[in-house]
Each structure stands twice: as C-alpha cells, then as structure tokens.
C-alpha cells in the first residue's frame, strides 16, 4: 500500500510539473512584445525672469514626465531618431502662502480669510500681496500633453543597456489642465481650496532638451523657449519662462 501511495504521489508531482512548464510556455507566447520604451523624468523646476513676489520652494517645485518613445536607427550608424508622446505634470510650490488669482497676480490671503467664500472674494477683488501665517501649503499645477522628438547617439547601439548615450531634442506641449491648490488652517481644521483656471498660461509651449547617461539611467535638462504666460498676463506682467533639470529612467 505504501508503495502504491508513493507511486501515486510521484505521478501527481510529475503531472503538476509538466502542467506548470506548459503554462509558462503559454505565458511566454502571449506576452506582448511592444517595441520602444517608456521614459520617466523626475526634475526640479526653476522660473526665469520671475517677479520678486514669485517665491518658490525648491523640492516642491517639480516635474514628472512620462513618455513612450520609439527609436528609429539611422542605417547601421550609432545615431537614431526617436519620436514619442506623453504627459508632463508640472508643480510650483510657493513658500510664503502666495497663490495666483484670476487676475493673474501673485498674492497672499489676508488674516481673517476664514472661509472659502471669503477667500474666493479676495481672489476676485484684491490683487494685493498680503500675509497669512495660517497657510500651510500653496501649489500651482500645470499639466501638458507633449510630443518629444530627439536625435540620440549610442556608443553601443547593439547593447543599449551598457551604452553611453547623448540625446538632443525638442518638445511641444498642449496645456490640458491647470489649477491652484491652497491648504490653510481654520479653528484647528485644515481646509483645501482648489481653483481650476488656466491663470493666463500659454496654451502651447515648446522647448529644447538634452539627455545624457549610461543605459537606462540619464540626466536631463529642459529649457522652455516659449513664455510661461501669455503676453501681459504673467504675474506683474513678467515675461517668464523656465527650465527643469533632473534624472531620467527608461525601460519597459
């Protein structure tokens, strides 16, 4: 009896192993082989030609870019042309409780602005810069649909994962979302106020960038050639633009 049980157990284990190998082979067959790669940029923003009221935080002013790119090798050379598409999610953090209002002025809310209704009223009526120590966090958010186009050089195009690479390109973006977010305290409670409005931002932006590194890890710098705001609509009429620098990780 013991021998029969042992034989039965061995048979079950063999069948289970065969079924597992068949399942793994089937998985390999149905696994999609999508060409190209996804790129994620993590960067820090800095405004250029901003007025002295534009007091931004360092770590809070950041960008996350997510792109799908498809490299097209130019013959058998070490160069390739890489088009792509993706989104750029940009954040600006103000350090002094300031925010952008509908009149596109950078202001702080006054002491005593105790409710969202009062805050909204000051948005519309008071383009003056005042102090409010109760503000915990103030952010300005702008999100873009973007098309990056770049030329890339790889020292080892047959082995991208170990290749030293340098890329130069440009990006065109279309604004699809913008809002301010303000968190402040009132009677011991934290209140979040979000105002969805484009605040005079340019609906289309364009700029140039460079990327360099080894394999899937790179450094990048993006310079925005277009003005951040439409002419005459920036804070205090400033003709602002920006740049972003950070790290880039690619892979699928």
Domain CATH for 222:
2.40.160
Same structural domain for residues 24 and 149? no
- Identify whether residues 3 and 105 lie together within a single domain: no
Cα distances (angstroms) measured from residue 98 to each of 44, 134, 140, 247: 20, 11, 10, 29
CA dist 58 and 92 (Å) reads 9
Question: In the predicted model, what is the mean pLDDT of residues 21-44?
Answer: 66
C-alpha 129/C-alpha 106 separation (Å) is 7
pLDDT digits 0-9 by tens, 127-183: 234 344 467 788 999 999 999 999 999 999 888 888 999 999 999 999 999 998 888
The model's pTM: 0.76
Distance, CA of 101 to CA of 97 (rounded, Å): 13
Do 12 and 92 reside in the same domain of the chain? no
Residues 3 and 75 placed together within one structural domain of the fold: no
What does the mean pLDDT of the chain come to?
Answer: 79
pLDDT digits 0-9 by tens, 55-81: 888 888 999 999 999 999 999 999 999
Work out how many domains the chain is built from and give that number.
Answer: 2
Buried b (16+ CB within 10 A) or exposed e, 18-40: eeeeeeeeeeeeeeeeeebbebe
pLDDT of 108 reads 58
* Cβ neighbours, 10 Å, residue 171: 23
Reported as a pLDDT band with limits 50, 70 and 90, residue 33 is low
In terms of domains, do 65 and 155 share one?
yes
Least confident of 10-24, 64-78, 136-150, 225-239: 10-24
Give residue-wise pLDDT tens across range 192-211: 888 888 888 999 999 999 99
pLDDT (average), residues 27-53: 78
Q: Quick one: 95 and 171 in the same domain? A: yes
Are 89 and 43 members of one domain?
A: yes
Residues 175, 107 share a domain: yes
**Same domain as 90, residue 22:** no
Residue 24 has pLDDT above 70, yes or no: no
At 148 the pLDDT is 97
Strands 62-69 and 79-94: antiparallel
- For residue 239, what pLDDT is reported? 87
pLDDT of residue 127: 29
- Give yes or no: residues 23 and 130 share one domain: no
Share of the chain above pLDDT 70, in %: 73
Is 234 found in the same domain as 126?
yes
At residue 34 the predicted structure's pLDDT band, cuts being 50, 70 and 90, is low
User: In which domain, by residue range, is 7 found?
Assistant: 1-31
Q: Which of 250, 94, 31 is nearest to 161 (CA)?
A: 250
């Amino acid at each position: 009896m013991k021998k029969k049980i042992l034989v039965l157990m061995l048979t079950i284990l063999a069948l289970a192993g065969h079924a597992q190998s068949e399942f793994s082979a089937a998985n390999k067959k149905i696994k999609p082989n999508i060409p190209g790669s996804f790129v994620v940029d993590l960067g820090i923003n800095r405004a250029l030609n901003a007025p002295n009221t534009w007091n931004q935080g360092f770590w809070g002013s950041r960008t996350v870019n997510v792109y799908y790119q498809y490299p097209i090798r130019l013959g058998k050379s070490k160069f390739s042309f890489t088009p792509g598409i993706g989104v750029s999610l940009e954040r600006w953090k103000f350090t002094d409780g300031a925010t952008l209002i509908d009149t596109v002025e950078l202001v702080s809310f006054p002491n005593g602005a105790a409710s969202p209704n009062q805050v909204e009223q000051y948005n519309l009526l008071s383009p003056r810069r005042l102090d409010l120590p109760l503000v915990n966090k103030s952010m300005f958010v702008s999100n873009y649909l973007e098309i990056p186009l770049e030329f890339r050089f790889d020292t080892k195009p047959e082995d991208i994962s170990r290749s030293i690479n340098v890329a130069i390109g440009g990006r065109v973006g279309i604004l699809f979302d913008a809002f301010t977010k303000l968190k402040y305290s009132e009677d011991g409670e934290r209140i979040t106020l979000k105002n969805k409005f484009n605040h005079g931002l340019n609906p289309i932006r364009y700029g140039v960038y460079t990327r360099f590194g080894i394999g899937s890890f790179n450094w990048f710098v993006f310079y925005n050639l277009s003005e951040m705001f439409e002419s005459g609509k920036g804070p205090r009429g400033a003709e602002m633009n920006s740049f972003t620098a950070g790290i880039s990780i690619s892979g699928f």
